[in-house]
Structure 1
Amino acid sequence: MYTKYVADANPGVTAQVARFVAETTLDDVPEAVRHFAKRSILDGLGLAVAGSRSVAAGIARHVIAEYRCANHEASVLGTTEHLPARFAAFANGLAIHADDYDDTQLAAASDRVYGLLSHPTAPVLPAALALAERDDRSGAELLLAYLIGVEVTTKVAEAIDPRHYDQGFHSTATTGAIGAGAAASHSLGLDPVRTAIALGMAASQAAGLRENFGSMTKPFHAGRAAESGVFAGELAARGFTAAENILEAKRGFFQAAGGGYDAAAINGRLGHPWTFQEPGISIKPHPSGSLTHPGMGAFADLIVKHDLRPDQVRRITVGTNRHMPNALIHHQPRNGLQAKFSMEFCLAILLLERRARLAQFTDEVVNREDVQRLIRRIDFGVDPEAEAVGYNTMTTIIRVELADGETLETRAAFGKGSPQNPMSDQELIDKFLDCLEWGGLHPGRGREIADRILHLDREPSTRPLLARLTIRD
């Protein structure tokens, strides 16, 4: 039941969040949750290196360089550059999300679109990372700030009325800014009052529209959210003022951006349970929108089982619930960014190359004649059976009509990397190594780095570890 306001009907939500941010310690976090978080940090750091090579990241760094503000506060991973903390957070956040390969929050409520709540690591980790490096924090301190930021991001995303996402807001940008503000507030040691003020500023900067999916502005959202969180925290630390009830207020975030919220999804729920534990965070096996992944996994298995080749396939029909085509909007993609939100491309490239990793999502590959020809033989739309299952799964039904008249069918509700079908630590390390290589770092150093990240809470300082993820002059 979503609360609609005529006044502050449920005061105290922001205060609850602020106390959680200011008062939570690592002793409050179960060991299993810490391990899940370290896996997502490993994933995010690898993606920051890989994404640093994207065109979007290069343009952004060039513009920041024109500000003549380079210093030694915080690293831009995968590069030689160091910037003030807020700009390093922006650059790393954009890079993590640049390839749409980053982790995904999973919805718990049945009226939510599974996998569409937020990408929590892209906005939160860079904010925590930049301040941890600047202030020479330990790995344990970084881990806790990140955990707090992700928990706030995901609980806020779960609570706001689904209208927020359905009608165009990109929650990675909006709830991510609030989560980044939480991570920054904890990193800076703000008390609950100053934290509430930082959240007020972060929420006032929360913005991002889904019409930009398939463009450079989508990863810009994540970078801007990370930067907003750092800036909000630093201003609050110096005495800046803002509303201290920004989430629940009549003119606050929940009402203005969603028309209301489900109080039961957030009141008393921070850390009870931690989102990393239930319902979990999904780590992507492919650099494309998470809604493509159940179908991609099922189709890849079908290809191997029947040794399918493109010339054997007459037509492919893909059916999902109505929300999935609302996000996978590019039916005839013409560049690598659009291809990430194209069910048609994702299935076509699997049939053609039997893999879908960073090397496949390039403009050159997307525009190949054999790729475009096969895309035209794939129909993607709403299937009544998938619609009836509900929106809290990503049920995908694929029917393959062969040239000889036979029809094959496969389906899946969850993709590889989801809590229902998780990637192993070794599979995650392999992805990390692939990202380092794509980003121009020698993968030979990767296994040692991965082991240190998976034991991050033992690192006395984050600086030496992050230095291993930069390119020396």
Structure 2
Amino acid sequence: MNHPTPQNVSPGAAEGSSVSAFADSTSDYSATLEITKEVAEFVRTARLSDIPRAVVEQGKRSLLDGLGLAVAGSVTQAATIPGELIGSYGELRPDATTLGTGTRMPARFAAFMNGLAIHAHDYDDTQLAVRSDRVYGLLTHPTAPVLPSSLALVERANGTGADLLLGYLIGVEVATKLAEAIDPRHYDDGFHATGTLGTIGSAAGAARVLGLGDHETRIALGLAATQAAGLRENFGTMTKPFHAGHAAESAVFAVELAGAGFSAASDVLEARRGFFHAAGGGYDSTAVHEQLGRPWIFEEPGVSIKPHPSGSLTHPGMGALLDLILAEDVRPEQVERVTVGTNRHMPNALIHHRPTTELEAKFSMEFCVAILLLERRAGLAQFTDEVVRRDDVRELIERVDFGVAPEAEAAGYNNMTTIITIHLRDGRRLETRASFGKGSPQNPMSDEELIEKFSDCLAWGGVRTDPQALADRVLSLEEEPSVVELLRSFVVS
């Protein structure tokens, strides 16, 4: 497929004029596309009854996953530090709930806390790339930034589960389509798309929850885009989940300001000095123009739900390695070394080769290989500072070599092709490979596996509610008459 080429605005273009859309490669068509206006119209007109049933069902699975992760993340240090700081601000309006702790605070702060918590363990869902020049990491974790803004505003208004579900689906759709459209330079040069595109998508969903009109929605998108932020150098620190919380909080502030009459650029996405060009150097209009809901992201290509609390780029290799370990009964003392080969983008995200904290370990292929060899599992209990610093873990990490493999590079960046070879001390070599991990649409989690993960997250956060009964309510979210009542089951008794 030949992608369109951008047409630059001439140096004498009028102040505020929009950049020309990417020219259609199959015709002489070239005209200015009002992408921001198109997004706002989609936000305003989408109806839950018109969304395909399969999209709704898949969306509820990711939403369930996100709610459980908010509880699990609420007990992390990354969540308790800002939680205590916000608590020190004095008496605040108790508009919305911080899941897990049950602390009530203004909607924007609740959105921040829940967004941070969902992303705190790096266990949240991942957008799948469509195009071969987009590595998975170039795109987003959609639920962490998008869900909390709609959740806080629906709770404040005592809205219904259907209100929440629609806002969430709209926000995820906008965030993911914009992520597919922006030039890959955005991620390559250091932006964290969950913090940037997530802010805009979160504002889109929140705008629908508040019932903003067309003009106000465009203003909200302008305010969201100007707050969009997040740098990948912070991967492996508390600031990575901060990006998701900041995105959700910024979205709430953006829609509230827009609803109050604040002003902003109404063409912020496509304008010459707007988001796509400033943050990415350009965009592919064919990825977003007339693509919102055509099809929905939850239908094609799908969203991946994580089986391990680590960077998604580790997951294909982890799944294949665990299967090999179990099939061959591989013991760590048998292993001389392990080689892991991927495309060049994956080491650019998995940057911690000798991790010293659990946050760094989430972005360490070496740790993920070592812990599977040692414990044959990699869940919340394995990603702790204490485990990462164990002598046996550190020693085995030294036997893992991680780098670029030409075969994986040739497979395309939209695949996470991972080739693993275990060199045993007896001279044997065991090899395995995978391009997609457990939880991807190609290898989805069953409902039972998803609810088991949800149950583990509730328990990790200290919530003793019956997980199956609560999951059943969330998976029938459109029938919930009150989000306020639902959320009472997501806090520590």
- The correspondence of residues 3-402 of structure 1 with structure 2, limited to 5 A, is 3=6, 5-6=8-9, 8-9=19-20, 10-402=32-424
Question: 1:419 pairs with 420, 441, 459, which one?
Answer: 441
The residue type paired with residue 232 of structure 1 is A
2:343 and 2:298 map into 1 onto residues whose CA distance is 26
Aligned to 2:24: none
Deviation at 1:215, TM superposition (A): 0.2
Q: Is 1:435 the equivalent of 2:457? A: yes
Unaligned stretches of 5+ in structure 1? none
Q: Secondary structure at the match of 2:136?
A: coil
1:388 and 1:400 map into 2 onto residues whose CA distance is 22
Deviation at 1:68, TM superposition (A): 1.6
Deviation at 1:115, TM superposition (A): 4.7
8 Å Cα contact 1:196/1:245 also seen in 2: yes
1:292 and 1:8 map into 2 onto residues whose CA distance is 38
Deviation at 1:66, TM superposition (A): 1.5
Q: Secondary structure at the match of 2:340?
A: strand
Deviation at 1:231, TM superposition (A): 0.4
Question: 1:459 pairs with 477, 480, 486, which one?
Answer: 480
2:6 and 2:306 map into 1 onto residues whose CA distance is 33
8 Å Cα contact 1:105/1:116 also seen in 2: no
Q: Name the TM-score, length of structure 1 as normaliser.
A: 0.99
The residue type paired with residue 453 of structure 1 is V
8 Å Cα contact 1:398/1:410 also seen in 2: yes
Deviation at 1:40, TM superposition (A): 0.5
The residue type paired with residue 365 of structure 2 is M
Deviation at 1:3, TM superposition (A): 2.5
1:446 and 1:82 map into 2 onto residues whose CA distance is 23
The residue type paired with residue 213 of structure 2 is D
Deviation at 1:4, TM superposition (A): 5.2
| CA offsets 1:255-307 (integer angstroms, 9 cap, x no match) | 00000000000000000000011010000000000000000000000000000
8 Å Cα contact 1:314/1:403 also seen in 2: yes
1:69 and 1:310 map into 2 onto residues whose CA distance is 54
Q: Is 1:469 the equivalent of 2:490? A: yes
Worse-superposed segment, 418-427 or 63-72: 63-72
2:325 and 2:50 map into 1 onto residues whose CA distance is 46
8 Å Cα contact 2:119/2:241 also seen in 1: yes
8 Å Cα contact 1:11/1:249 also seen in 2: no
| CA offsets 1:45-64 (integer angstroms, 9 cap, x no match) | 00000000000100010111
Unaligned stretches of 5+ in structure 2? 10-17, 21-31
CA RMSD of aligned residues (A): 0.9
Deviation at 1:72, TM superposition (A): 2.2
- Count residues with an aligned counterpart: 471
The residue type paired with residue 30 of structure 1 is P
8 Å Cα contact 1:5/1:255 also seen in 2: no
1:288 and 1:60 map into 2 onto residues whose CA distance is 22
Q: Secondary structure at the match of 1:360?
A: coil
Question: 1:446 pairs with 458, 467, 474, which one?
Answer: 467
The residue type paired with residue 154 of structure 2 is A
1:306 and 1:47 map into 2 onto residues whose CA distance is 33
Deviation at 1:116, TM superposition (A): 3.5
1:340 and 1:386 map into 2 onto residues whose CA distance is 21
Deviation at 1:394, TM superposition (A): 0.2
Q: Secondary structure at the match of 1:358?
A: coil
1:345 and 1:178 map into 2 onto residues whose CA distance is 34
Q: Secondary structure at the match of 1:268?
A: coil
1:107 and 1:86 map into 2 onto residues whose CA distance is 30
Question: 1:409 pairs with 431, 436, 440, which one?
Answer: 431
Worse-superposed segment, 321-330 or 67-76: 67-76
| CA offsets 1:397-443 (integer angstroms, 9 cap, x no match) | 0011001001110000100000100001111000000000000111x
8 Å Cα contact 1:177/1:225 also seen in 2: yes
The residue type paired with residue 3 of structure 1 is P
Aligned to 2:28: none
8 Å Cα contact 1:153/1:176 also seen in 2: yes
2:238 and 2:142 map into 1 onto residues whose CA distance is 18
The residue type paired with residue 449 of structure 1 is L
Sequence identity (%): 66
Deviation at 1:71, TM superposition (A): 2.8
Q: Name the TM-score, length of structure 2 as normaliser.
A: 0.95
8 Å Cα contact 2:451/2:471 also seen in 1: yes
